[in-house]
Amino acid sequence: MAKTIVILDFGSQFTQLIARRVRQAHVFSQVLPYSVSLNQIRALNPAGLILSGGPSNVNLQDAPVCDKGVFALGIPVLGVCYGMQLMSTVLGGSVQPAKKREYGMSRVRFDVSSRLFSGLKPESGCWMSHAHQVAELPQGFQNTASTDTCPVAGMEDAARNFYGVQFHPEVTHSQQGVDIIKNFVLNICGCPEDWQMSSFAETAIEEIKEAVGEKGTVLLGLSGGVDSAVVAALISKAIGDRLYCVFVDHGFMRKNEPQLVKEVFSAHFPVHLSALDASERFYQKLKGVTDPEQKRKIIGAEFIAVFREEAMKLGALDHFAQGTIYPDVIESGAAPGSVTIKSHHNVGGLPKELGFTSLIEPLRPLFKDEVRELGRVLGLPAKMTDRQPFPGPGLAIRTLGELTKPKVDLTRESDAILIEEFEKADLNKQVSQFFTVNTDLRSVGVMGDERSYDTAIAIRAVTTDDFMTADWARIPYDILALISRRIVNEVPGVNRVLLDVTTKPPASIEWE
């Protein structure tokens, strides 16, 4: 069995990013809530433990504390931010409010003789987010890093293999963060680099088999995107044709998407596929609705309604599967310590009224690029695994304001041109997500000798690693010019093309 790193979650938004960095080092990791018993941790026989960050303050009465016995297991422990502060107080040091709250990038100076910082440059930018800091080191500890305002930004007791960092090595902004995590899991914990995405697939398939049992059946909604396709591949490998897939065309799909889904799923999987055109119902329900959250909620609810009816027709099915991935969990506020930014309709939990006995979400810990890799491991065709992410509500949240078929058609047709030109220019490999938005704005133009008063279409194209932060893609002007010309010429009703040059944050990737 592969050596495991256990990550105890104290509610940080970045806990799964720690797990991802450990996976990137080809080491298996498991995230557990901080409150698990010592026996549950022991049962995994971990090679090391990471205590995550979290929003609380260790000096509060009700601050989250893990079983203190973790420090007597005889394995290396790395505390990150709150995790380091907890380590400090439990082992006899103290934590005090910082004179100055540190949030964002800070220059950190490292003692590179520490095993944790071995091979690092002695100084680099790291991402900080804290209002408290270690004031007194516990006995046996040494200070190993500092910033101008945080004298103890790192600490260690090398004899016991206890390490702490006040900054977040797991976020991409921390320049040497990956090296720090690698030093911990590979050198300090001694894990071999033997974990692959195929191991994730094997484990997930086994877990699905166990959850579904010998005779159980599963209903899965296919969205046309990568996530649900990868879930379909995983479940069909686990239970074959006891998987029932339902593809609901809500009327907000990209151009030719319904056909592609049918083609790929009839060719590659021995699953039952019901493909439904439910667009009329969705448009009816959305009549007069302009608020983005309302639109999302209505589409989510209608989805469930369509599913419910289809499930009834299919006969009682036991389990419900979803392609929820980690950024969906975080942005929907479903993870502890996070706030709701948008309600993603696919993170609503188990729709109880459908009577399913469990919810299967095998991709919950993964990030988008990991899902693609998993899809490749499972043998999905590239046209499926390389598809850019597409939100559940589809073009409905890229068509601002009230939804009408003619408005959504402008979004769809302009989007198809954008995709075609990005593919021709090979930009689809470099840009993480790109689409057009119908801004619902009309402006004056001249077409031939005629005055026009038509719609402005915006281009949104971003580069991102994990979809939690993003930069706008720098697209060559010539390609932008070509796309703009084509959209205005080929999509009647559009007379202006705009480019969105906003990063996330502060903007989100989608416009609604």
- In the complex, the residues that contact ligand XMP under the rule CB under 6 A are 327-328, 331, 342, 344-346, 389, 391-393, 433, 467, 504, 508-510
Q: Report how far residue 346's alpha carbon sits from residue 87's, in angstroms, rounded to the nearest whole number.
A: 37
Q: How far apart are CA 329 and CA 239, in angstroms?
A: 26
Shortest spacing between CB 102 and ligand XMP, in angstroms: 26
- CA 497 to chain centroid, in Å, comes to 30
d(CA 119, CA 116): 9
Q: Is-contact 360 321, C-beta < 8 A?
A: yes
Kindly tell me which of 172 and 199 has the beta carbon lying closer to ligand XMP. Answer: 172
SS3 of residue 126 by DSSP: strand
Alpha carbon distances (Å) from 165 to 77, 381, 457: 11, 42, 46
Of 66, 81, 126, 189, which is the active-site residue?
Answer: 81
402's CB contacts (< 8 A; 6+ apart) are: 286, 287, 288, 289, 290
Closest distance to ligand XMP from the beta carbon of 341 (Å): 6
| Comparison of 111 and 500: residue with beta carbon closer to ligand XMP | 500
Query: Which of 168, 319, 344, 345 does the annotation list as catalytic?
Result: 168
- Check if the beta carbon of residue 373 is closer than 8 Å to that of residue 230: no
Residue 164 pairs in a beta bridge with 79, 155
Q: How far is the CB of 432 from ligand XMP (least distance, A)?
A: 8
Nearer of residues 89 and 508 to ligand XMP, judged by Cβ: 508
In angstroms, rounded to a whole number, what is the distance separating the alpha carbons of residues 338 and 174?
A: 21
Alpha carbon of residue 51 to chain centroid: 21
Q: How far is the CB of 467 from ligand XMP (least distance, A)?
A: 4
Give the three-state DSSP class for 269: coil
Kindly compute the dihedral angle of the four CA atoms of residues 20, 21, 24, 30, in this order, to the nearest 10 degrees: -50
Which of 102, 132, 156, 170 is flagged as catalytic?
170
Beta bridge partners of 218: 243, 319
Nearest-5° Cα angle at 197, 196 to 203: 100
CB of 27 or CB of 363, closer to ligand XMP? 363
Contact 224, 253 (CB under 8 A): yes
To ligand XMP, the closest distance from the beta carbon of 388 in angstroms equals: 8
165 in Cβ contact with 120 (< 8 Å): no
Kindly provide the b/e burial profile for residues 106-119, where b requires at least 16 CB atoms within 10 angstroms of the residue's own CB: bebebbbebbbbee
Q: Kindly report the CA angle at 442 between 287 and 463, in degrees rounded to 5? A: 85
Report the nearest approach of ligand XMP to the CB of residue 324 (Å).
8
If the CB atoms of residues 422 and 467 are measured against ligand XMP, the closer one turns out to be: 467
- Whole-angstrom Cα distance, residue 467 to residue 261? 24
Q: What is the smallest separation between the CB atom of 325 and ligand XMP, expressed in angstroms? A: 8
Considering beta carbons, is residue 32 or 498 the nearer one to ligand XMP? 498
Tell me how far, at minimum, the Cβ of 300 lies from ligand XMP, in Å: 8
Would you call 124 helix, strand, or coil by DSSP?
strand
Q: Is residue 191 flagged as an active site residue?
A: no
Task: Select 67 or 500, whichever has its Cβ closest to ligand XMP.
Answer: 500
**Encoding tokens for residue 229?**
């396709």
Q: Work out the end-to-end distance of the chain between its first and last CA atoms, rounded to an integer number of angstroms.
A: 45
Closer residue to ligand XMP in complex, CB, 83/258? 258
Calpha distance 114→93 (Å, rounded): 20
Q: Which is nearer to ligand XMP, 115 or 297 (CB)?
A: 297
Alpha carbon distances (Å) from 333 to 49, 104, 320, 336, 469: 26, 22, 21, 7, 16
Q: Which is nearer to ligand XMP, 191 or 509 (CB)?
A: 509
State both tokens at 103: 């949030």
Q: What is the distance between the alpha carbons of residues 462 and 502, in angstroms, rounded to a whole number?
A: 9
Q: Is 126 a catalytic residue?
A: no
3-class secondary structure, 342 = coil
168 catalytically annotated: yes
CB of 392 to ligand XMP, least distance (A): 4
* In the complex, minimum distance from the CB of residue 55 to ligand XMP, in angstroms, rounded to a whole number: 21
The catalytic residues are 81, 168, 170
